[in-house]
Chains A and B, each alone.
Chain A
Amino acid sequence: MTEHGTHTAQRALEAIRDAAARYDAPVGSGVIGTVGRDVPAELVEAFGLHPLRLRGDPSWPTSEADEYLGRGLDEATRSVLAGILAGAYGELDGIVVSSDCDASQRLFYVLREMHRIDPTCTLPPVHLVDVLHLPREATARYNLRKLEQLSETLHEWSGRTAGAEELAAAIHNRNAVRELQGRVMALRRTQARLSGTDALAVLRAADRMPQSEYLERLTALVQHPEELPVQPGERLFLTGSNHDTPEVYQTIERCGYVIVGEDHDWGEMTSYGSVEIGEAEAVAGDDTLGGDERRGLLRAVARRLLEAPPTSQRASVRQRADYCAGGVESAEAAMLLSYVRVLDEAPLWDFAAQRRAVKVKSAVITNQRYGCIDQQQLDRALHSPETTGVNA
């Protein structure tokens, strides 16, 4: 057992919290910043690169970023651009942006235009991986082509190639991470052995500590759950906007609630599902896809992205309501709370159907600033949930 492996669950959790608070990567070179949940980490890793999902910080000033992006989109994305402009993420060899939401796409277009109009631009090169989500074969084929193009860019940036062997190894590693994350999330969901704040930290820390250490820390958590005290409080399921920082979770949990599940893309859904290599092998002989093993693996990666849990920005109202209701039920939550940031409007359209779909009380808090939650609105939501609505 390594030095790290001798740590108890409690000490593992402390290390995870520290890592989650970082903005930069645990490695000094070969770092690729990623934006949005639809950048396939295993593909980046297959090229020997380290994917670092960029996150903002509510305390960062966004005035310079706002000059480019305007103020007409989610402050969380404006904060990410502020971080990029300030060099807050350390040295990045490139930035891969996904089409996971409109704000991410806008960020890509701004970065691309900054490069185009100023050849001396010192920002990292940028690539859009346009992964889409309608459950159709045409979309699956399109996504596969987008992953091929991403591979070409990663080859250009890294100077390396990633054949079937490298990709299979990266898939294996990433599956192992997700599998362990899933076991940790189960501790939280079924036993409330982790607060929502700590669960978020577990997921945020994934690319902010060396992977071997991360796996050891997660292993310590699942092997010694008894060291983790059961979190007191009413069980609450959080929907709505995503959270790349802990402030909102902390505020809600200070009110006597424990967030036992959520359906946003920095939360539990990041640990969802493995890339099924068996499926990839099964399609390896498909002539329309090139027929080689590497392409089959890539197709499996694309398939996981297509079938990923529904985010508010890329899924239908019905999909979101069904997924949310399933999450509430499996987490045995006593309450559903939707938290919606200013200019992140998709969750507003989900809420009515979510409220109808769940059997527990539900409330919504709208027009919130990034990283903040209005205490008065929160009190009302928690104590008089039936009085809340997306227009109230």
Chain B
Amino acid sequence: MSTRSNQPPQRLESARLALRYQKQWFADLHEHVSAGGRFALVNADTPHEILRVFDVPYVVNQWWSSIAASRDGAQRYLSLIAEQGLPRDSDQYNAIGLGSLFDADPSSAPWGGLPRPFLVLGDITGDVTRKVFDVWGEGEGITFFPFENSASTTAEPQWWDRLSTEWEALRGTDRIDLQLAEIQELIELLERLTGTEFDESKLIRIMRLGNEQAEWNRRTRDLIASTSPCPVSVNDSIPAVMIPQWHRGTEWARDAARSLYEEVVQRAETGAALADPERARLMWIGRGLWFDLGFYRHFEERYGAVFVWSMYLAIAADGYARYGTDPLRALASRFIGFHEHLYVAPYSTEWYVQQARQHRIDGVVHLVSDDPRGHWATTRALRAAGIPVIEVRADNADESSYDIEEFRGGVASWIEAEVLRGE
């Protein structure tokens, strides 16, 4: 196997700027808290927009976990959790941040550690995530506000091109009514805690900006899908998409999404390539492998096999936009069963197949860990569509059981045998 020695394009400016922005934002948050300000810790699939209406800054738990995991902080925080008599090896992706609550020396933690929030928002996904937030809620001065995680009882395979406008039918009135009532309860809580009134005009503006951001992401996704060779690494697209995602509803986030699109246009026009020749286009299904981000580049360099797809840009393109005249109801529909798009058949399976076809995928690396559901259906659907799939097993945020040689070796063998087929 020949090594591809071509120089990859430099890191996306959009990714660099997003990371820089986030670092400064987090430093500002520290100052805000030091000056007596308050902030919230939120799970990714909760209606952050309400906090933004009240000008309450928030940190997304999964983002914080990814920071901790990529800077050797995961073991530190998991050990702190274990010292409390809580499980060290359970739902690590959601639990890592909880270690911050017990950290006596946050100054030595990644990015100066996570200050103490006054409010925690979480949805009751799975059996354990709620427990993690329960423990947060036991902390002095912290209120935990849970959201139900209602389940789809009917199956609608094709949603991605209808969801932004037909959300009432696709997500279901029962589920939206439930989430809406919970949001209204959260609003009442925030009015009490902040002493300010809910301003619907602010929410309308936030929703508009969020929709514009989603539209830019959709353009970027479609452009990457149609561009070969692929000009953008998932290592770059993930931060360039996800950091603005956590600032959804701001002008900065909307503009960051537009900048990403414009940069990808520029690269596409100049023929920038992650690998030349591009011998295979791969899809990464699952959460990011935060502790081994070199994984993706490794296969581009060694095999010319390029990861052109991750869920982060794709769900940003298809999962968030909501149009309608009732902003609260539209917002409620945004977070109902969000994980179903990613993990529950037939929503996830049909979407993955459609995305694989749109991106002209040659093979799928499917990360299977304990908590996400539906891997059988996902793998089956892709294989039924004639797309090679390898299932790889790891906890994406906890490297303690990760064997890099074995993990990469398995994927390498599969690429040679099933994707490149002795090319």
Contact = CB atoms under 8 A, between A and B. Distances in A.
Given A68-B376, A105-B151, A352 B86 contact: yes
A138 B182 contact: yes
B148 A106 contact: no
Interface string A341-355: 001111011111001
Given A69-B376, A72-B371, A136-B181, A351 B85 contact: yes
B374 A349 contact: no
A312 B127 contact: yes
B376 A130 contact: no
Interface in B74-98: 82, 84-91
Most chain A beta-carbon contacts within 10 A, residue among B82, B151, B374, B375: B151
A171 to B, nearest CB: 24
A391 B88 contact: yes
Interface in B236-259: none
A250 interface: no
A389 B88 CA distance: 11
A95 B178 CA distance: 26
20 contacts: A70-B375, A72-B368, A72-B369, A72-B375, A102-B371, A113-B345, A128-B151, A129-B153, A141-B177, A314-B127, A317-B134, A344-B127, A345-B90, A346-B127, A346-B128, A349-B128, A349-B135, A390-B87, A391-B88, A391-B89
Interface in B34-74: none
Interface string A331-372: 000000000000111101111100100000000000000000
B124 interface: yes
B138 A128 contact: no
Nearest to A107: B373
Contact of B134 (A129, A139, A316): A316
B9 interface: no
A112 B131 CA distance: 28
Interface of A: 67-70, 72-73, 99, 101-102, 105-106, 108-110, 112-113, 116-117, 127-130, 132, 134, 136-139, 141-142, 145-146, 149, 312-314, 316-318, 343-346, 348-352, 355, 389-391
A106 B148 CA distance: 17
Nearest to A128: B153
A40 to B, nearest CB: 15
B135 A70 contact: no
Contact of A113 (B86, B127, B371, B377): B377
A101 B177 contact: no
Nearest to A356: B85
Contact of A109 (B82, B134, B150, B344): B344
Contacts of B155: 112, 116
A275 B368 CA distance: 42
B150 A130 contact: yes
A73 to B, nearest CB: 7
Contacts of A141: 177-178, 181
A345 B127 contact: yes
Nearest to A103: B127
Contacts of B181: 136-138, 141
A152 B338 CA distance: 27
A102 to B, nearest CB: 5
A312 B128 CA distance: 9
A99 B374 CA distance: 16
Contacts of B380: 117
B148 A134 contact: yes
Given A317-B134, A317-B138, A106 B373 contact: yes
Contacts of A138: 148, 177-178, 181-182, 185
A106 B377 CA distance: 11
Contact of A110 (B88, B90, B377): B377
Q: Which 10 A-B pairs have the closest CB atoms?
A: A138-B181, A352-B85, A349-B131, A72-B370, A348-B87, A346-B127, A313-B127, A317-B134, A113-B345, A345-B90
B151 A136 contact: no
B268 interface: no
Interface of B: 82, 84-91, 124, 126-128, 130-132, 134-135, 138, 146, 148, 150-151, 153, 155, 174-175, 177-178, 181-182, 185, 344-346, 349, 368-371, 373-377, 380
A316 B127 CA distance: 10
A73 B132 contact: no
A312 B124 CA distance: 13
Nearest to A312: B127
Given A134-B146, A141-B177, A116 B369 contact: no
A391 B150 contact: no
Contacts of B89: 391
Contacts of A130: 150-151, 153
A106 B88 CA distance: 24
B138 A102 contact: no
A67 B380 CA distance: 10
Contacts of A349: 86-87, 90, 128, 131-132, 134-135
B369 A139 contact: no
Contacts of A317: 131, 134-135, 138
Nearest to B86: A352
A82 to B, nearest CB: 15
B163 to A, nearest CB: 19
B243 to A, nearest CB: 30
Contacts of B134: 316-318, 349
Contacts of B377: 109-110, 113
A142 B185 contact: no
A116 to B, nearest CB: 6
Given A102-B371, A109-B373, A113-B346, 6 more contacts: A70-B368, A72-B371, A116-B346, A132-B148, A142-B177, A349-B135
Given A112-B155, A352-B86, A316 B130 contact: yes
Contact of A343 (B85, B346, B349, B370): B370
Contacts of A106: 373-374
A313 B149 CA distance: 13
Contacts of B376: 67-70, 110
Nearest to B90: A345
B342 to A, nearest CB: 13
Contact of B174 (A116, A142, A355): A142
A324 B142 CA distance: 24
Contacts of B174: 142, 145-146
Contacts of B146: 134
A99 B174 CA distance: 16
Nearest to B345: A113
A141 B176 CA distance: 12
A109 B393 CA distance: 21
Nearest to B384: A117
Most chain A beta-carbon contacts within 10 A, residue among B148, B177, B185, B369: B148
A364 to B, nearest CB: 9
Nearest to A115: B155
Most chain B beta-carbon contacts within 10 A, residue among A69, A128, A130: A130
A354 B377 CA distance: 38
